[in-house]
Amino acid sequence: MTAVDLPVGPQRVERLERIWTPRPGVLGWLTTTDHKRIGLLYLFATLMFFAAGGVEALTMRTQLAQANEKLVGPGTFDELLTMHGITMIFLFIIPITTGAFGNYLVPLMIGARDMAFPRMNALSFWLFLASGCFLYAGFALGAAPNAGWFDYVPLALKQYDPGSNIDFYALGLILNGASSTAAAINFIATIFKLRAPGMSLNRMPLFCYAVLAVAFALLLALPALTLDCIFLELQRRLGFHFFDVAGGGDPLLWQYLFWIFGHPEVYIIVLPAFGIATSIIPTFARRRMVAFPLVAMAELLVAFIGFGVFAHHMFATGLATITLVFFAAASMLVVIPSTIQVYAWLLTVATGAPRFRAPLLFIGGFVVFFVLGGLTGIMFTAIPFDQALTDTYFVVAHFHFIIFGAAVFPILGGLYYWFPKVTGRLYHERLAIVSFWVTFVGTTLTFFPMHIVGLLGMTRRVYTYEPGLGWDAYNLAETIGGFTLAAGLLLILGNLVWSRFNGEPCGPDPFHGGTLEWTVPSPPPHYNFAVIPTVRSPYPNWDRTDAGYDLERGGLVLDAGHETPSTEVRDARLEEILSMPSESPWPIVLAACVVLAFVMLLAGHVLITAVFGVLGALTLGAWHLHEPEET
Amino acid sequence: MTAAGLPATASSRPAGWWGMALFITTEATLFGAIFSTYVYLWLRSPRWPPQGIAPTKPFYPLLLTALLVATSVPVHGAFRSARAGAAGRAVALLLLAVAVQCSYLAGQFVLFAHDLDRMPPDRSAYASTYFTMLGTHHAHVVAGIALELWFALRLTRGVNRYRLVGLHATTLYWDFVIVAGLILVALQLAPR
């Protein structure tokens, strides 16, 4: 049995090693419940999808490089633009920020040894991977979703889109939503219950606040999308009436439900970026975050207000003026928490002693694009402006500044920042700085001219255009920018792959970061913390000596099994020691049953769907037969 | 004190309880969206239910809902018994609850089939939302029954903390199903 106030004897560490070491080989990865391994699986899978989405984007940009280009036809172009949108949102940004960064970092940042529900965590990943493969199977079969990522009816109804393209969309997104829901529940329960003793809410890292806000937004937003997709399938397959006026339905119903999900979704995409920024900035500015509690509140507030603005995507649909004005006002409100954060970031850098290394440069790029994209966003709250420019490239420019500039830049910076933690090696700094500038120039060159062609009247989603409209030079510049951007991304990838094998060993804390993940070796051991830390500050790694904080003494070793402490929600007082489940084959089996059920549903075999459903239920039983040992 | 001999405060809600509470949050949002759809289409229709469809008769739906609400008692009783260590009593109460819930479902299926005859869902948006609403709720009742059967089975081998937390979460889930059922029956019977 363990006891308090004992130095960490080497034999204890050895025992922890023995308890937590996973099965060797591929089987170990397939049955893993280790949040770090699941985070890495998410990372590799999402990067693959990112590459696919990038190739789709470059194909479209090549097609649009000059007037009357004939690289792809209109049908293929529709599939490309739809898959590009779905891929980047559902298969790249959300899963890489929550799944990869969140999974890897949240337990390390809060001083836990795993997520609250490790097996459900594995299930989230396998369901996510299955949903991605499911959507791309549509591509392989020549029936990829093709009605745009927001899939408006009536275009998406059976009469106008008779193939199974839209069925891939609806079923694939239901599957994806199930994965995200499971992940969101897991993050909230983990953040609420598994924080290290002493990490009261006011000492929790701001990254965790961002993940918490995202998780709540996912929980409350996803059901609307899931229900919308269920309605769509019922209408397409069984002839129900939800979206057609003739049967008493309403096409706007699709848009309402979609955007009730879709706008919170925008904040779901960008909030983790805020979280990454608030992790990187203090480290490289060498000071605490300015206005820490305000930033934490602002992160939660952005997610909250995000639910009250959805109809600003529908300003051109003929809603009542009073509705438009309400939603325009609500949309302007988002400026307040956003600006609080921008000022906090800038002031932290300005009042600190900044080191402009690659991760901080990417955050700099993020702030530039976030402010520019935010400013064009405010322009859209002027309703007549929105109505004039809706469905033009100006909109495309606006949301790519936000989604690529503001959401992906911090992801890229975060890849560099935590790379030494994950691999134990440093990335190549000079090449990293070059890659930042190439990416920055590429992004600007790709998306800035889109504002201008938008103002010149070029509409979204056109697969080609006539010469002589004044669009040619801008489009060519955008295409050149797109390839520059791709080169920048390849430089980043090359840097990371090269450094993985040849980088300098970096030790536990190369950047002198403030949060708990920098207190453990790089890469972290399977059990994360040899001694569960006791936290007395929001930056425990900096305040070790000040607050008498010492990792070697005064903590918990917990080497009697897969154990981690559970604490009380607000003040993180120690409540009990949890015995955590370890590796399990059932999550991947259950995910397989679920996806096969969906495939059979798509193919119209209801009976076989039911068989896989029953198999899934039996799998759940087998899963829960294994109970953690009583302590 | 925990098993490891460490000082600990009195246990508040465990992670398993939070997991279920959060799951219910998202499920409640789903039901909220379905109910809102029903009301939205209702407000946009000149007649709801449309011409030619008679409003649902209240007697049987209300009777069945009363039955549904009543099952709250044995479910909560089962949890209290299990917490007190009386596994056998908990199993018996769970089985009683399941029996009543199954008769509830049987009654609902009869009504469902009858309604399907009366107003096929591919004829009107009213029937489409009506059946989607009911079908979703019935699916949740089935899930609740499955959970209770599972814990009845597990508790035959005695009570431990894992099962107790699971059963606690199940009572929470069942309360949610009942509340959703009450709103459902109100919406089902409201248009006259």
Question: Scanning every residue of chain A, which has its alpha carbon at the shortest distance from the alpha carbon of B22?
Answer: A185
For every one of its 192 residues, what pLDDT tens digit does chain B have, with 9 covering 90 and above? Answer: 344 444 444 467 899 999 999 999 999 999 999 999 999 999 999 999 999 999 999 999 999 999 999 999 999 999 999 999 999 999 999 999 999 999 999 999 999 999 999 999 999 999 999 999 999 999 999 999 999 999 999 999 999 988 999 999 999 999 999 999 999 999 999 987
- Choose among A119, A93, A28, A53: nearest CA to A628: A119
DSSP assignment of A417-462, as one string? HHHHHHHSB---HHHHHHHHHHHHHHHHHHHHHHHHHHHTTPBTT-
Q: Can you give the pLDDT at residue A1?
A: 39
Question: Who contacts B92 (Cβ-Cβ below 8 Å, separation ≥6)?
Answer: none
Best residue in A193, A220, A323, A619 for a mutation probing chain B (most B CBs within 10 Å): A193
Is the sign of the CA dihedral A53, A56, A62, A67 positive or negative?
Answer: negative
Q: How far away is chain A from the Cα of B169, in angstroms, using its nearest Cα?
A: 14
- Smallest Cβ–Cβ distance between A576 and the set B11, B122, B132 belongs to B11
Q: Can you give the pLDDT at residue A629?
A: 64
Q: Can you give the pLDDT at residue A555?
A: 58
Length of chain B: 192
* Cα–Cα distance for residue pair A21/A29, rounded to 1 Å: 12
Buried-state track A618-628, b at ≥16 Cβ within 10 A, e below 16: ebbeebbeeeb
The upper half-sphere exposure of residue A469, i.e. CA atoms within 13 Å in the direction of its Cβ, equals 19
Contacts of A120 in chain B (CB under 8 A): 19
* Cα–Cα distance for residue pair A544/A287, rounded to 1 Å: 15
- Choose among A117, A25, A76: nearest CA to A461: A76
Best residue in A241, A258, A562, A626 for a mutation probing chain B (most B CBs within 10 Å): A241
- Smallest Cβ–Cβ distance between A189 and the set B5, B8, B15 belongs to B15
Amino acid of residue A14? E
End-to-end CA distance of chain A: 11
Q: Can you give the pLDDT at residue A630?
A: 54
- As a three-state string, the secondary structure of A563-581 is EEEEECCCCCCEEEEEECC
Q: Can you give the pLDDT at residue B11?
A: 61
Low-confidence ranges of chain A (pLDDT < 70): 1-9, 545-555, 629-631
User: What backbone phi and psi angles, to 5 degrees, belong to A237?
Assistant: -90, -45
* Cα-based distances in Å from A281 to A358, A364, A477: 12, 9, 33
* Cα–Cα distance for residue pair A190/A349, rounded to 1 Å: 31
Best residue in B13, B20, B24, B26 for a mutation probing chain A (most A CBs within 10 Å): B26
- Smallest Cβ–Cβ distance between A630 and the set B10, B30, B160 belongs to B160
Bridge partners of B29, per DSSP, are: none
Q: Can you give the pLDDT at residue A530?
A: 87
Bridge partners of A121, per DSSP, are: none
Q: Can you give the pLDDT at residue A411?
A: 97
Question: Scanning every residue of chain B, which has its alpha carbon at the shortest distance from the alpha carbon of A246?
Answer: B124
* Cα–Cα distance for residue pair A170/A159, rounded to 1 Å: 16
| Cβ atoms of residues A124 and A46 within 8 Å | no
Q: Can you give the pLDDT at residue A546?
A: 42
* Cα–Cα distance for residue pair A359/A349, rounded to 1 Å: 13
Contacts of A574 in chain B (CB under 8 A): 2, 6-9
The three-state secondary structure class of A505 is strand
Query: What are A507-561's pLDDT values in tens digits?
Result: 999 999 999 999 999 999 999 998 888 888 899 888 875 444 444 454 577 888 8
| DSSP summary character for residue A103 | H
Across the interface, do B37 and A621 touch by the CB < 8 Å criterion? no
DSSP assignment of A216-281, as one string? HHHHHHHHHHHHHHHHHHHHHHH---SS-GGGT--HHHHHHHHHHHHHHHHHHHHHHHHHHHHHHH
Amino acid of residue A227? L
Outline where A503-531 has alpha helix (H).
none
* Cα–Cα distance for residue pair A406/A415, rounded to 1 Å: 15
Phi-psi region of A422 (alpha: psi -120 to 50; beta: other; left: phi over 0): alpha
- Choose among A394, A150, A422, A124: nearest CA to A260: A150
Contacts of A247 in chain B (CB under 8 A): 123-125, 128
- Smallest Cβ–Cβ distance between B44 and the set A189, A194, A250 belongs to A250
Q: Can you give the pLDDT at residue B13?
A: 87
Q: How far away is chain A from the Cα of B64, in angstroms, using its nearest Cα?
A: 26
Rounded to the nearest 10 degrees, the angle between the axes of helix B72-83 and helix B87-118 is 160
Across the interface, do A249 and B15 touch by the CB < 8 Å criterion? no
Q: How far away is chain B from the Cα of A475, in angstroms, using its nearest Cα?
A: 42
Contacts of A223 in chain B (CB under 8 A): 26-27, 29-30, 32-33
Outline where A503-534 has alpha helix (H).
none
Question: Scanning every residue of chain B, which has its alpha carbon at the shortest distance from the alpha carbon of A227?
Answer: B30
Contacts of A631 in chain B (CB under 8 A): 2-4
Contacts of A193 in chain B (CB under 8 A): 14-15, 18
- Smallest Cβ–Cβ distance between A234 and the set B8, B22, B132 belongs to B132
User: What backbone phi and psi angles, to 5 degrees, belong to B123?
Assistant: -105, -30
Phi-psi region of A537 (alpha: psi -120 to 50; beta: other; left: phi over 0): beta
> Quick one: tokens of A419?
């790379």
Across the interface, do A241 and B37 touch by the CB < 8 Å criterion? no
Across the interface, do A248 and B126 touch by the CB < 8 Å criterion? yes
Question: What value of ipTM does the predicted structure carry?
Answer: 0.94
Bridge partners of A563, per DSSP, are: A579
Best residue in B128, B149, B170 for a mutation probing chain A (most A CBs within 10 Å): B128
pTM: 0.95
| Cβ atoms of residues A468 and A400 within 8 Å | no
Size of the A and B interface in Cβ pairs below 8 Å: 151
Query: What are A372-396's pLDDT values in tens digits?
Result: 999 999 999 999 999 999 999 999 9
Contacts of B129 in chain A (CB under 8 A): 242
Q: How far away is chain A from the Cα of B31, in angstroms, using its nearest Cα?
A: 9
> Quick one: tokens of A510?
């190369």
